[in-house]
């Protein structure tokens, strides 16, 4: 039940047997109130559920682990800067705790070739993990978070709107609702032009209650679009528990209305996520239509920024601003941290003898260093030129300054 | 060259572009993409291009707009025809996404899409939601979205070709009240600029500025006034974003009298912007607006037709301003 | 399979046994492609499904029949005017064929006492039937359809926006989507103030695909609102079959997601409709939350106005404007007309010995005369004053004329 | 009398009205209806009135707006606080229903409801959707909806009491950028008219008109200009629908110089309407606008702060106009 503070800290769970580890997860899921669809439970009982990800070689498995670590350390580096450097201007909706979702999904996608060839990913206001897993350059991301002229989006985006078409990362979108609708449009275009791409849309539990949720699934189902809705149910939207906006426990059951598969998956286990994504991608590429995947997961920080967090430590505790209707209990957070996606992927791969602890540590250390370097590089980049604010409104030219009268 | 309606002209442009570009899609709801005109083949986009590229949907204009936006972002040109009842259902999609995504991504996002937003036919008797003419203002205030409102079939075709070839999102307002206008329109594709007003009549006594659904009455008034000896310079805005300031200002510098005519509600109608731009740039001019009152249009034709600006209103206002 | 042309025409089905008649309905339902939920079919098989509406006395049953006839003749009178009087300015989205839905629903509601006491009904662009069943004055309605100054809404509304708070008829709304959302707001207010009212929202099959459909049911379910969604599935929105916008056969199954009852009912049989409405109303009044009722029904005219219709004849045939994606087949219309709500209610009540044929004919004749008189009265009413267009924008005063410059 | 923030002042008004009227409801989403200020009790509407009357919902601002509208139609007063991200999600509900239902029903429908529409805090770094200031125009164009935009806690409280007591629907724009303004506000309820501009400074050299989130900089510029000897008449619009034409026109008749200041995008900003009304009514005046360019606000503070009108811009523009 202790949080991992540092890569050098020795975690006793490394030595656990994978089977035992799996049992722990299952208990954890029950304990933390997350649910797994009956279908999967039955499959688990049979003992063969593709859990072993037989189609993935060691390199791919290690890549998934590396992705998780890179996301983790991009964010921890960012959090530490926010907590310790008063002049740091960046901010973040931290993804820490959910890394296995993005890592597992992207492992099932084609991440090169631009918008006409890559699989396309639509992200949310919580984009770092989705972007890194899709292959976005972390140095440019770090620079963008600091609004630098050489940032991924030249300082126009900040964290909330980063995009990089070249790897099929269609962008963060700060609005809750419209993103999935727009994503189905990309899927429509793909089906119309007959390319083999698929579109993944990430959305939180908060997206369930939006009117757009219905539009998205209904049209995707009617038109059999190559579309996958990865709903990351981290139990909260801002500070409201999802039971305030959703009458059922598993959001995935909404898929039934539309006659499409609705899958609940353990979002802390990258292999489980990969398996579900893989199946959905194959379905989509085969022209069989959309899938709704609900990943049960949790974020270790608060909705936005790093309030309640301490430099060098993982997670944010004790921040409970005035008058929040349903603030999460600390023990809920601690329970979820005991099923950490880093630990799970690490011990799984060690148990499978894909790598040993030394290699796992080395990957973590490299990821940490990469991110420290990325943020250092970002710091040194030039800031935006004020007048450039008149650019990029339209493809061509710039608009007139009007603030001077 | 053949006599064509607004809709035939628009669909001819779309058909041509869709033949050139096998990826281009079209989403429709109520108005099947079909038009005919004597002596020319019937255009039926659904039949010609098939339901993978041309599809009707449920009653969800927000999805229609989001769909073409997403298609554009994914690299396919796309257009949708939103019926007038839904032209504000999709407002947020254009306001917060189409208009901002290029800027918010520092130029990464590209949206070669056209939203055809039908405005009501303003049919007397339909009332409120089914007779209003108001979205010109809402859409023209959005940055990053080109907003145009052609007033005749010839412009409609040329501007549709330009809009479809534009790499920016375009809100193409279609005043359905103009659906009965029929005129000779060239058969081959041609482009008409999306940022230039058209001077429909040259004169030195007064500048009259209108747009879209109001133009037929503006043109009628222009003829009436000219027949009475007034030298009228009449401008059809055509584009609301951007507005062609130079054409307006040059004209008002000459005439020193500006009358704007709108079927949109008075407060913040396009004419307000036209007057403001002229007033910022020309000293000593006089200004007047004719517009629909700040009231939803009532059903009863007696009330509605009295409220909607017509040629008589324009003539009287012009005389007041010049006299 | 012949249409009823006139009240005086002798309809052989009057002499059928009710049981036979019921069998005919069931065959009709199957033949015409409409569906009845498995639940109801099982109940029918058991032979006891509240079909007999034991809680209704003869007066109430006769009232339902009378309502059906009044709606029918209001509309037929209007249609004949549209077809024969070139100067008639009114129009209509005819409800003919669907009368049993509104008649059955309103029979379960309280229809007096204004907005603080009556049950509230939200209607659509097809309001005549809903309004008449709720108790709106037909003379004032007829005058409103002609935009008269003394019309129900002083000529501001026309057909598409008629409203009459005094009987709890909250109004037609020409937009597809928002109405149900607004209706849940009334239900929220009712729950908050603790009054015993319920809110009924009518919507067509076209409303299913709107994003608002999800908002409506989700919030009504979450907040357990006294709300009933009567979805009149007449198979078409404008000229598109509902299968173009809905992936399932019974829209009522959407209720499952929200954990609320979803009921499919034969919309041609007023008693069936009444029973379903009654149950939903009781549930709502008891604080148990919303119900979705899908009434399978059909309209005999086209979407709007009377194209394809002939004066004095029922229904519109052969109107197939250019390029309609899925225009309804004539035999579909004729099949539905063979299960006419007028005939069904009439023969049911005769079989039950609630009235005899003479009484049934007299009621029809009276309804017809009432409507002829109402439209004649309306014709003579004064037209609106042009300047009054500046009124009723706000509660107080009027706005300025701006059209003169 | 105590020092109160904008939010405390607004909630004090709401609390008072909800205590008077046991039927009144309040719908919220992100911003729990809670406010505190030193020396006064914490206001918590949810706790005080219970979740039957005060409830948070899912992320569905269109439902929130529709809900209070339906409550109002059913005879219960109602208000909702729409967070800025959703202030155009509910646009159609206000544009096509709240604004038209009274007219469309010939006066049958009554909507004693208030939509509090948060506008962004315009925080540098948030970009596009999270830094824009634009809805003043969209909402002010709607007929049948009163649209107000208070610029300080005192007005906010008085106008909220008026809005809640009004039998018409009111769009109450709340520029969240003003959330740090704190001033002495009376404890007891009082009303402030919803249709009157406020003259913040009297003078004869120039009229400066602003509103809402732009007012602090307008007032700062006014002081700077006065300290340099210019006689500045400064007007805070407060109401955008209806606009208080008389106050504007009277002032411009006197000063013959009108400078408008908006944080809304230039094209069709409220200042355009103000200039048009003055120009229609006053001959020989000169006009100028300061506004946000027709561009979504970029994230980088360097760009954003350069683009947003501030006191320096206003001072320079005023000098150009008067000089
Ligand atoms: C339309 C809209 N309303 C409100 C917001 C404010 N908002 C930002 S993030 C958020 C919560 C989203 O929750 P969820 O979808 O569960 O994602 P998570 O933050 O948990 O990743 C809200 C309400 C918004 N961005 N857009
Ligand atoms: C938002 C919106 N989009 C489009 C329309 C145009 N329209 C009017 S009625 C209608 C069909 C409605 O079908 P349905 O809900 O099945 O009702 P029915 O006409 O069958 O009674 C449509 C699309 C509209 N009124 N509102
Ligand atoms: Mg969440
Ligand atoms: Mg229908």
The ranges of chain B annotated as CATH 3.40.50.970 are 2-185
d(CA C302, CA C250): 23
Superfamily of domain D2-185: Thiamin diphosphate (ThDP)-binding fold, Pyr/PP domains (3.40.50.970)
Nearest to C192 among D52, D96, D104 (CB): D52
d(CA B321, CA B106): 47
For an interface test with D, which of A158, A239, A240, A397 has the most D Cβ atoms less than 10 Å from its Cβ?
A158
Q: Where are the alpha helices (DSSP H) in chain D?
A: 6-20, 45-49, 61-73, 91-92, 101-104, 135-140, 153-165, 215-227, 245-255, 270-281, 301-307, 311-322
ipTM: 0.95
Residues with CB under 6 A from ligand 2: B 30, 59, 83, 85-86, 89; C 125-126, 174-177, 204-207, 234, 236-238, 303
Tell the residue number behind the tokens 């919030």, with chain if given: C219
d(CA A141, CA B141): 32
- Answer whether D70 sits within 8 Å of C183, measured CB to CB: yes
Output b/e per residue, A340-370; b: 16+ Cβ within 10 A. Answer: bbbbbbbbbbbbeebbeeeebbebbeebbeb
DSSP-assigned letter for residue A217: H
The predicted model gives C256-278 an average pLDDT of 96
The predicted model gives A266-292 an average pLDDT of 97
pLDDT of A318 reads 79
What is the least distance, in Å, from the CA of A178 to any CA of chain B?
7
For an interface test with A, which of C257, C261, C292 has the most A Cβ atoms less than 10 Å from its Cβ?
C257
pLDDT of A54 reads 80
Tell me which chain C residues have a C-beta less than 8 angstroms from the C-beta of D102. 392-395
pTM: 0.94
d(CA C372, CA C359): 20
The ranges of chain D annotated as CATH 3.40.50.920 are 198-322
- Answer whether B62 sits within 8 Å of C211, measured CB to CB: yes
Write the DSSP string, A284-352: HHTT---EEEEEE---SS-SSS-TTB-TTSSSB-S---TT-TTPPPHHHHHHHHTT-HHHHHHHHHHHT
Ligand 3 mean position, distance from CA A234 (Å): 5
A201 DSSP β-pair partners? A122, A229
Answer whether residue C373 shows pLDDT above 70.
yes
How sure is the predictor about A322, in pLDDT bands with cuts at 50, 70 and 90? Answer: low
pLDDT of A34 reads 32
Chain B residue with minimum CA distance to C161:
B127
- Answer whether B141 sits within 8 Å of D265, measured CB to CB: yes
Tell me which chain B residues have a C-beta less than 8 angstroms from the C-beta of A176. none
pLDDT of C225 reads 98
What is the least distance, in Å, from the CA of A381 to any CA of chain B?
16
CB D99 within 8 A of CB C150: no
pLDDT tens for C219-253 read: 999 999 999 999 999 999 988 899 999 999 999 99
Return the biggest CA–CA distance within chain D: 60
B113 DSSP β-pair partners? B78
How sure is the predictor about A3, in pLDDT bands with cuts at 50, 70 and 90? Answer: very low
Chain D residue with minimum CA distance to C198:
D74
Nearest to A155 among B101, B106, B109 (CB): B106
Mean pLDDT (10-residue bins), chain B, 323 residues:
95 98 95 89 95 95 98 98 97 98 98 97 90 97 98 98 98 94 96 98 98 98 98 98 98 98 98 98 97 98 98 98 91
Antiparallel, parallel or unpaired: β C262-266 and D146-148: unpaired
Answer whether residue C18 shows pLDDT above 60.
no
- Answer whether A213 sits within 8 Å of C214, measured CB to CB: yes
pLDDT of C320 reads 67
Q: Where are the alpha helices (DSSP H) in B61-152?
A: 61-73, 91-92, 101-104, 135-140
At D172, give phi and psi (nearest 5°).
-105, 100
DSSP-assigned letter for residue D124: T
Nearest-CA residue for ligand 1 atom 19 is A237
Q: Which chains reach chain A with 3 or more Cβ–Cβ distances below 8 angstroms?
A: B, C, D
What is the least distance, in Å, from the CA of A211 to any CA of chain C?
5
- Answer whether D294 sits within 8 Å of B241, measured CB to CB: yes
Query: What architecture is domain C15-404?
Result: 3-Layer(aba) Sandwich (3.40)
For an interface test with A, which of C177, C179, C247 has the most A Cβ atoms less than 10 Å from its Cβ?
C247
DSSP-assigned letter for residue B76: -
What is the least distance, in Å, from the CA of B109 to any CA of chain A?
7
Q: Which chains reach chain D with 3 or more Cβ–Cβ distances below 8 angstroms?
A: A, B, C
Ligand 2 mean position, distance from CA C134 (Å): 22
Candidate of C176, C212, C251 to mutate for ligand 2, largest count of ligand atoms within 8 Å of Cβ: C176
Answer whether residue C29 shows pLDDT above 70.
no
| Size of chain A in residues | 405
**Which residues are CB-contacts of B108 (< 8 A; sequence separation ≥ 6)?**
A153, A163, A164, A165, A171, B102
CB C213 within 8 A of CB C180: yes
Answer whether residue A19 shows pLDDT above 50.
no
The predicted model gives A232-257 an average pLDDT of 94
pLDDT tens for B281-301 read: 999 999 999 999 999 999 999
DSSP-based three-state secondary structure for D147: strand
Chain B residue with minimum CA distance to D88:
B92
Nearest to B88 among D95, D275, D298 (CB): D95
Ligand 1 mean position, distance from CA A206 (Å): 6
What is the least distance, in Å, from the CA of B193 to any CA of chain C?
31
The predicted model gives C285-301 an average pLDDT of 98
pLDDT tens for A24-60 read: 333 333 333 333 333 344 444 445 455 677 889 999 9
pLDDT tens for C33-71 read: 333 333 344 444 445 455 677 889 999 999 999 999 999
- Answer whether C403 sits within 8 Å of B302, measured CB to CB: no
Peptide bond into A298 cis (omega under 30): no
The two three-digit tokens of residue D299, written as one number = 């994230």
The predicted model gives C243-265 an average pLDDT of 96
pLDDT tens for A164-208 read: 999 999 999 999 999 999 999 999 999 999 999 999 999 999 999
At A177, give phi and psi (nearest 5°).
135, -65
Candidate of C122, C237, C333 to mutate for ligand 2, largest count of ligand atoms within 8 Å of Cβ: C237
Q: For the domain covering D198-322, report its CATH number.
A: 3.40.50.920
Q: Where are the alpha helices (DSSP H) in C85-199?
A: 99-106, 128-134, 138-145, 178-193
pLDDT of A50 reads 58
Run of H or E including D171: strand D170-175
Ligand 4 mean position, distance from CA C315 (Å): 16
The predicted model gives C9-38 an average pLDDT of 35
Q: Both ends of chain D: CA-CA distance in Å?
A: 43
- Answer whether A247 sits within 8 Å of C254, measured CB to CB: no
What is the least distance, in Å, from the CA of C188 to any CA of chain A?
15
Q: Which atom belonging to ligand 2 lies closest to the Cα atom of C206?
A: 15
CB B116 within 8 A of CB B172: yes
pLDDT-above-90 percentage for chain C? 82
Tell me which chain A residues have a C-beta less than 8 angstroms from the C-beta of C257. 248, 253-254, 256-257
CB of A206 sitting under 6 A from ligand 1? yes
Q: Which chains reach chain B with 3 or more Cβ–Cβ distances below 8 angstroms?
A: A, C, D
> Per-residue confidence of chain D (323 residues) as pLDDT tens digits?
899 999 999 999 999 999 999 999 999 998 789 999 988 999 999 999 999 999 998 999 999 999 999 999 999 999 999 999 999 999 999 999 999 999 999 999 999 999 999 999 788 999 999 999 999 999 999 999 999 999 999 999 999 999 999 999 999 999 999 998 999 999 999 999 999 999 999 999 999 999 999 999 999 999 999 999 999 999 999 999 999 999 999 999 999 999 999 999 999 999 999 999 999 999 999 999 999 999 999 999 999 999 999 999 999 999 999 98
Q: Helix %, strand %, coil % for chain B, to 5?
A: 40, 25, 35
Candidate of C206, C210, C299 to mutate for ligand 2, largest count of ligand atoms within 8 Å of Cβ: C206
The two three-digit tokens of residue D309, written as one number = 């009108």
- Answer whether B307 sits within 8 Å of C401, measured CB to CB: yes
């Amino acid at each position: 039940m202790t949080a991992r503070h540092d890569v050098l800290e020795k975690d006793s769970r490394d030595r656990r047997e994978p089977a035992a580890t799996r049992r722990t997860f299952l208990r954890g899921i029950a304990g933390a109130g997350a649910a797994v669809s009956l279908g999967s439970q039955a499959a688990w009982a049979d003992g063969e559920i593709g859990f072993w990800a037989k189609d993935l070689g060691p390199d791919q498995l290690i890549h998934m682990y590396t992705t998780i670590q890179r996301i983790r350390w991009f964010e921890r580096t960012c959090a530490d800067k926010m907590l310790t450097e008063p002049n740091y201007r960046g901010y973040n909706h931290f993804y820490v705790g959910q890394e296995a979702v993005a890592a597992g999904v992207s492992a099932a996608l084609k991440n090169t070739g631009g918008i006409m060839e890559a699989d396309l990913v639509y992200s949310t206001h919580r984009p770092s993990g989705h972007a890194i897993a899709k292959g976005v350059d972390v140095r440019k991301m770090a620079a963008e978070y600091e609004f630098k002229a050489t940032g991924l989006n030249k300082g126009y985006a900040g964290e909330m709107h980063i995009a990089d078409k070249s790897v099929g990362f269609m962008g963060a979108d700060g609005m809750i609702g419209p993103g999935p609708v727009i994503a189905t449009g990309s899927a429509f275009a793909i089906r119309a032009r007959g390319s083999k791409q698929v579109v993944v849309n990430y959305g939180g539990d908060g997206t369930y209650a939006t009117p757009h949720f219905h539009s998205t699934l209904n049209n995707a189902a009617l038109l059999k679009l190559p579309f996958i809705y990865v709903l990351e149910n981290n139990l909260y939207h801002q500070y409201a528990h999802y039971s305030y906006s959703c009458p059922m426990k598993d959001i995935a059951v909404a898929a039934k209305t539309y006659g499409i598969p609705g899958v609940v998956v353990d979002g802390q286990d990258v292999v489980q996520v990969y398996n579900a994504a893989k199946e959905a991608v194959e379905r989509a590429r085969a022209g069989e239509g959309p899938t709704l995947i609900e990943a049960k997961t949790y974020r270790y920080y608060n909705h936005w920024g790093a309030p309640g967090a301490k430099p060098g430590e993982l997670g944010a505790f004790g921040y409970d601003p005035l008058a929040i209707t349903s603030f999460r209990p600390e023990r809920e957070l601690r329970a979820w941290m005991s099923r950490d996606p880093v630990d799970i992927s690490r011990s799984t791969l060690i148990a499978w003898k894909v790598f040993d602890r030394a290699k796992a540590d080395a990957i973590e250390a490299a990821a940490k260093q990469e991110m420290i370097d990325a943020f250092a590089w970002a710091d040194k980049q030039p800031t935006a030129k004020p007048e450039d604010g008149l650019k990029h409104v339209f493809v061509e030219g710039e608009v007139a300054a009007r603030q001077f009268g | 060259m053949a006599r064509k309606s607004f809709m035939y002209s628009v669909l001819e442009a779309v058909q041509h572009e869709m033949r050139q570009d096998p990826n281009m899609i079209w989403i429709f709801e109520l108005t099947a993409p079909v038009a005919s005109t004597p002596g020319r083949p019937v255009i039926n986009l659904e039949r010609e291009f098939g339901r993978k590229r041309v599809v009707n949907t449920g009653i969800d204009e927000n999805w229609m707009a989001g769909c073409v936006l997403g298609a554009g972002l994914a690299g396919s040109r796309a257009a949708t025809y939103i019926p007038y009842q839904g032209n504000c259902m999709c407002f947020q999609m254009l306001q917060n996404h189409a208009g901002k995504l290029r800027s918010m991504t520092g130029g990464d996002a590209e949206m070669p899409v056209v939203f055809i937003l039908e405005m009501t036919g303003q049919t007397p008797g339909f009332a409120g939601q089914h007779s209003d003419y108001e979205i010109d203002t809402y859409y023209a205030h959005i940055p990053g979205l080109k907003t145009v409102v052609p007033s005749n079939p010839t412009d409609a075709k040329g501007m549709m070709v330009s809009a479809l070839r534009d790499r920016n999102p375009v809100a193409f307002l279609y005043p359905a009240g103009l659906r009965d206008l029929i005129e000779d329109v060239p058969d081959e594709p041609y482009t008409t600029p999306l940022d230039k007003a058209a001077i429909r009549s040259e004169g030195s006594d007064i500048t009259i500025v209108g747009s879209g659904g109001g133009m037929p009455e503006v043109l009628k008034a222009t003829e009436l006034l000219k027949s009475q000896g007034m030298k009228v310079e009449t401008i059809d805005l055509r584009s609301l974003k951007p507005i062609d300031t130079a054409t307006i200002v040059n004209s008002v510098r000459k005439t020193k009298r500006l009358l704007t005519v709108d079927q949109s509600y008075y407060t913040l109608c396009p004419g307000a912007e036209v007057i403001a731009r002229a007033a910022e740039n020309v000293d000593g001019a006089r200004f007047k607006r004719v517009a629909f009152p700040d009231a939803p249009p009532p059903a009863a034709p007696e009330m509605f037709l009295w409220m909607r600006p017509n040629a008589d209103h324009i003539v009287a206002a012009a005389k007041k301003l010049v006299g």
